[in-house]
Structure 1
Amino acid sequence: MGPVGAVVFPPQEFFTDQLWSTLPRSWQEALDGLNPPQLAALLLGMPAEGDVVRYRSVWPLTLLALKSTASALAFTRTPGFQTPSEFLENPSQSSRLTAPFRKHVRPKKQHEIRRLGELVKKLSDLTGCTQVVDVGSGQVKSIEGDRRLVERARRLDRELLHALEKEQRRKPQVAPTGPRRSPQHVVRWVEPAALCDELLLPLEHSPRGGARLLLTGLHACGDLSVTLLRHFCCCPEVVALASVGCCYMKLSDPGGYPLSQWVAALPGCELSYRLREGACHALEEYAERLQRAGPGLRTHCYRAALETVIRRAQPTLRRPGVQGIPRVHELKIEEYVQRGLQRVGLDPQLPLNLAALRAQQAQENRVVAFFSLALLLAPLVETLILLDRLLHLQEQGFHAELLPIFSPELSPRNLALVATKRPLGQAFSVLETEDG
């Protein structure tokens, strides 16, 4: 497949599979020796100043073409609003949410809840929905498969309602008035093949026959986001959809991708597990890490070196999950390897080839460059997955758009698939804007 096919996510096999040598020699010469800020500016397109943006040599046209093509073909991930302005005063508290709605909620989730809430409200008004069904809601509301999360969500609901009542008594002229209902929570697994009635059955008091439902899911994992699409298509009561997917590597194959006839007809449309996994990485956040050139970037090189030791000790054990090792940048490479061996169940006292480990550590910038090259493709792979879902809905006569509703720096999976069963025309553009 050429040089692009050699790029994998993440490059844990950098040393075991000699991945640097799989790149064309001209690419190696262009990327070798670049420091992290230079990679951020020259390869990932982040703004920079001074000497950082100067090319040390003429880059090969093939590498420049890949960089330009990856950028041109990927959906824009930049929202049409100034953000994260809500965190200018306090980086941990959104200025757009009152205190009761920030409790137990991290800044990333504050931003997501506020933005998706605005979109769902507008979409509900435009489509005349009478009920919102949040699938995979975790501790928020509606349908969730984990009973413990549902029980915690109900407790948080009670706390929130109590806080709002106190706020209304304290500031009656400011606090919203009117009756408040606690969200209804249902413990249930939503099966991909479930029928429409099976999905709606747990929703007590649902006015069947007159219900107009909006189906939503915030970062619905793997097949769950595909299941939402299928229920939107088959359920007459579901008239609108607002879905933000994630965990593309967990999609069933076949079944989860491709969905559309158009993508299925493309030669070589298959996406490997590693490419789908790569589509879940955060390019913007990583580019900022490159700009800061922090010592935490060393983790890539250390992990790749650990993989060589693991395979030498147990050849059948490949790419095992290694739980986070704290303060990696303060460890010598042999100390990291010993802790890593222990994390995967191997003897941490195995004899180590310190000279080989030191030689691998000297290639730290190459490992970071290779990973940056892989990340260049991440938005492109995600675009293909989301484009497939968009086309699937349009092929069936529905109206759908992809809107970047979150700040990608705060929430990398920021593209919401919005669909309706009747045309909204220019009203789709209203969904992306911020409320005043």
Structure 2
Amino acid sequence: MDETKTTCDYCNCDVCDKVRSDLEKIFRVLDIYGWLLDSYIVDFFLEDLWNKLPGEWQNTLDVVSPQELGKWILGEACERVWPLSLMALREVIRSLVINRNHNEGEAIKCKKRSSEGKSFNSLEELDSVNSNLYVNDSKFNNLFIKHVKTKKRYEIEKMSQILGDCALKANCKCVVDIGAGMGHLARVLAFKYGFSVTCVEQDPLLTAQAKKCDEQFLTSLRKYNPNCNGKLQHVSMTVNVNDSGEEVVNYLTKSFESEQTLITKRKELGLVGLHPCGDLATTLLRLYSNCAEAKFICIVGCCYMKLTRSGDKFALKGYPMSQYVSTLDNNEISFNALEVSCHAMEKHCDKLKEERFSDLIVHTYRAALEYMLVQKSSKLRRIQVNSVKVKNGMCFEQYCKAAVANLEPHKQPEDFYYTQPKIIQFLSEWNRVLVFGSLRLMLAPLVETCVLLDRFLFLSEKKLGPSLKAEFDCRVSPRNFVLISSK
């Protein structure tokens, strides 16, 4: 391990030193408490997960109300006396994770990051550089949000500002949106901010739908302003995890030579990814690091559980990416832990505080159903059942029958299973299942922090000066961290 470290040119700035130190501390915490994240809630009763918690935790958490727990996890005032080890764990988590509050703190920045170029501090200031824009014209702005959900509207507005800042600092007006989907962000960038945008989407059906949306948008736009134009084009292609940056850029430039776009004239571009799924995020980072034409990257990751963690020795892993994390002996993160890290801890705690957690009873129902299925046959362990939402007072038996409706009749539990004393006891312990799930969510930000700081160090090791900060409201958009780098 030491030999590997000496061969890598690690950045020795205070920020990168702290990132590496924090990662080592996080992995030590996960060595002790990672079993909570690795556990399956569906196995809660089968594996008696409650009794794996420390005894003093059990005694306190058995009498804590959901409202108290929600407040306590969020760090709000709570008069109850808590076990010292549990309090210490919460404080350690809070000290090590990246701040998820977009209104607080500064970005984590490698000190080698260039600060050259013009920076725009507000959406209005950025708007003012484009003479085509009608910042305060609601009719014009409403053209961009038709058929766009509220969450997406919010993300697009924030991302446009950040991306515009990156592009202007890099003196680059061409943007490639990889994993562009329906092209909602691209239309804002092209027709509102004047960037030349190329959308890359793997699914040809989505590409076709995006082009149709373009046509509808342009029809409305030209009725509003016949002289307002933008440069926007779409291509369907797969950007694989092992693709080099040069191959992708060559494909794009050759495909659009006849269009005379900014790509082919200058061969300089910026990369943007708004919630690219799993390995696509790390693919974009490698594309950026390998490609001289890529002048900046602006990326918001998601779906961490889909990251490649093992497999063919020649395959590039989605995690870990950095040489530093790759050298750590205890750097493994399970699928379960990555999956939990994609949930909204704050929204969960808000539900607890506001007594809106009745839908969470589904976890107790599913764990009790699993116990019954395994009673019937060990071969039914973790068999795929229908996803059923518990609402309108749905009882356990109704839930189970809906969940196993896809199974062959001989695999479904008989009616007598539902009245077993053990099952009735399990159902009365719904609060324990809720508490256990909440503890996992309390730990989850540690996992996301590991993934994001690993990506941060990857860029730092490539001398690409990264910056990382929560830019979205985590209660609106839970995956709210934006990773930025400019060359």
Category of TM-score, reference length = shorter chain: 0.7 to 0.9
Cα distance between partner residues in 2 of 1:78 and 1:97: 31
- Say whether residues 1:75 and 2:98 are aligned partners: yes
- Say whether residues 1:375 and 2:435 are aligned partners: no
Give the corresponding residue for 1:411. 477
Instruction: Out of 66-75 and 29-38, give the one that drifted further.
Output: 29-38
Cα distance between partner residues in 1 of 2:339 and 2:167: 33
Give the corresponding residue for 1:166. 223
Give the corresponding residue for 1:219. 275
Cα distance between partner residues in 1 of 2:297 and 2:172: 11
Number of aligned pairs? 394
Give the corresponding residue for 1:54. 79
2:274 alignment partner AA: L
Deviation string 1:304-351 (CA, Å, 9 cap, x unpaired) is: 112212323342344345443244351111211121111455654624
Alignment of 1:29-428 (within 5 A): 29-45=59-75, 47=76, 53-55=78-80, 58-80=81-103, 98-140=141-183, 141=186, 142-168=199-225, 178-181=227-230, 183-200=232-249, 201-203=251-253, 204-205=256-257, 207-208=263-264, 210-254=266-310, 255-294=317-356, 295-328=358-391, 330-343=393-406, 347-348=411-412, 350-351=414-415, 352-354=417-419, 355-421=421-487
Cα distance between partner residues in 2 of 1:6 and 1:413: 22
SS at match of 1:379: helix
SS at match of 1:293: coil
Give the corresponding residue for 1:16. 46
SS at match of 1:403: strand
Deviation string 1:237-296 (CA, Å, 9 cap, x unpaired) is: 001001111111111113111111221222311111111111111111111111222221
Q: Is the 8 A contact 1:196 1:231 kept in 2?
A: yes
- Say whether residues 1:26 and 2:83 are aligned partners: no
Give the corresponding residue for 1:428. none
Q: Is the 8 A contact 2:239 2:248 kept in 1?
A: yes
Cα distance between partner residues in 2 of 1:407 and 1:364: 30
Deviation string 1:351-372 (CA, Å, 9 cap, x unpaired) is: 4142332211110111110000
TM-score by length of 1: 0.85
1:168 alignment partner AA: N
Q: Is the 8 A contact 1:310 1:341 kept in 2?
A: no
Structure 1 residues 343 and 281, CA, compared in 2 at 3 Å: closer, same or farther?
farther
Structure 1 residues 122 and 252, CA, compared in 2 at 3 Å: closer, same or farther?
same
State the Cα distance separating 1:97 from its structure 2 match: 8.4
Give the unaligned 5+ runs of structure 2: 1-30, 105-137, 187-198, 311-316
Give the corresponding residue for 1:172. none
Give the unaligned 5+ runs of structure 1: 82-94, 170-177, 422-436
Cα distance between partner residues in 1 of 2:139 and 2:158: 10
SS at match of 2:99: coil
Structure 1 residues 63 and 269, CA, compared in 2 at 3 Å: closer, same or farther?
same
Cα distance between partner residues in 1 of 2:319 and 2:402: 38
Cα distance between partner residues in 2 of 1:403 and 1:133: 22
Cα distance between partner residues in 2 of 1:97 and 1:246: 31
Deviation string 1:203-259 (CA, Å, 9 cap, x unpaired) is: 514544722211011111111000000000001100100111111111111311111
Q: Is the 8 A contact 1:408 1:414 kept in 2?
A: yes
Cα distance between partner residues in 2 of 1:298 and 1:318: 21
Q: Is the 8 A contact 1:127 1:239 kept in 2?
A: yes
Structure 1 residues 214 and 375, CA, compared in 2 at 3 Å: closer, same or farther?
same
State the Cα distance separating 1:377 from its structure 2 match: 0.9
Structure 1 residues 404 and 180, CA, compared in 2 at 3 Å: closer, same or farther?
same
SS at match of 1:324: coil
1:167 alignment partner AA: Y
Cα distance between partner residues in 1 of 2:96 and 2:59: 26
State the Cα distance separating 1:163 from its structure 2 match: 1.7
Cα distance between partner residues in 1 of 2:100 and 2:335: 23
Cα distance between partner residues in 1 of 2:273 and 2:280: 9
Structure 1 residues 345 and 3, CA, compared in 2 at 3 Å: closer, same or farther?
farther
Structure 1 residues 104 and 209, CA, compared in 2 at 3 Å: closer, same or farther?
closer
Q: Is the 8 A contact 2:273 2:281 kept in 1?
A: yes
Q: Alignment RMSD, CA only?
A: 2.3
Structure 1 residues 198 and 297, CA, compared in 2 at 3 Å: closer, same or farther?
same
